[in-house]
Structure 1
Amino acid sequence: MSARDVVFPTERQALYERNRYSPAVRANGFLFVSGQVGSRPDGSPEPELEAQVRLAFNNLNAILSAAGCTFEDVVDVTVFIVDPARNFEPIWKIFPDYWGDAPHPTLTGVGVTWLYGYQFEIKVIAKLPASATLSAS
């Protein structure tokens, strides 16, 4: 197997190395991004729900940017929400600030009971722009 083409956001590589996973991997013209949570630079959770969701999107956007992408390049989204009956509406109200205009990516929402101290996680697949694909080769 060839080495993975890993993308690290600025200033967070140590956090990913400590937790033993890659934030994103380029493969076959796509960027596969690990689930992003509202973690502070030290990896601890942002306690307030809205701030946590915004931080998760900011962390996601940092990875997309490091790969030469934006949210406009995202084709598939999976979100994980603890206690979706209570948290879905407050979380969903934040999405328009980050989501962009139609056509929107596909979306799968999953209700979960535990996210390691977080209430929200977002995982995406993005199509790499031609310029990002060429620079990664």
Structure 2
Amino acid sequence: MITRLPSHVGDPTCASVVRAGGFLFLAHHAGGFERRDYAHQTRATLHALGETLRAAGAGFEHVVQVTLWLREYSDETRAAWDVFGEVFGDAPPARMTATTDFFDPACLVMVDAVAYVGD
């Protein structure tokens, strides 16, 4: 069975999370645009991800994979990785990091994730 939660960004073409069997596919999470700071935006982004996980009946302990999208790669972006340690501790998910342009010029960080909650 597949279920979807409505968009959290006001875009009806992008569900915030899709549950397919025991997996949750989470898309388009970002936040903290009021500050041009990678650590701040990563914390806000992971907070938004956490809210969506809770709405789907899950938590960070269920996250098995994250794609971390960064606007650019620089010495400042290491701060984004450091925040993952704050949130996931010594049980981090698999993570891929890539750079891209975003539609919103204030956006520095965005994540997609996969969580496993069982059948």
TM-score (norm 2): 0.83
State the partner residue of 2:102. Answer: 115
Range 115-124 or range 58-67, more displaced: 115-124
State the partner residue of 1:55. Answer: 44
Larger relative helix fraction = 1
Question: What is the identity, as a one-letter code, of the residue corresponding to 2:31?
Answer: G
State the partner residue of 2:11. Answer: 19
Root mean square deviation of aligned Cα: 2.0
The alpha-carbon deviation at position 101 of structure 1 amounts to 2.1
User: CA contact under 8 A between 1:81 and 1:87: conserved in structure 2?
Assistant: no
State the partner residue of 1:42. Answer: none
Show the 5 A alignment for 1:21-40: 21-38=14-31
Question: What is the identity, as a one-letter code, of the residue corresponding to 2:4?
Answer: V
Question: What is the identity, as a one-letter code, of the residue corresponding to 1:115?
Answer: F
Match of 1:6 among 4, 7, 13: 4
Match of 1:106 among 81, 94, 99: 94
User: CA contact under 8 A between 1:73 and 1:126: conserved in structure 2?
Assistant: yes
The alpha-carbon deviation at position 90 of structure 1 amounts to 1.8
Show the 5 A alignment for 1:67-106: 67-102=56-91, 104-106=92-94
Residues 93-123 of structure 1 deviation map (CA, whole Å, 9 limit, x = unaligned): 2221112323x321111022x1222000111
Calculate percent identity across the aligned residue pairs.
Answer: 25
User: CA contact under 8 A between 1:30 and 1:127: conserved in structure 2?
Assistant: yes
SS at match of 2:74: helix
Range 77-86 or range 117-126, more displaced: 77-86
**Who wins on radius of gyration, i.e. which is larger?**
1
Quote the Cα distance in structure 2 between the aligned partners of 1:61 and 1:100: 15
Quote the Cα distance in structure 2 between the aligned partners of 1:99 and 1:46: 24
The alpha-carbon deviation at position 82 of structure 1 amounts to 1.1
Question: What is the identity, as a one-letter code, of the residue corresponding to 1:106?
Answer: A
TM-score (norm 1): 0.73
Instruction: Kindly tell me the number of residue pairs found equivalent between the two proteins.
Output: 115
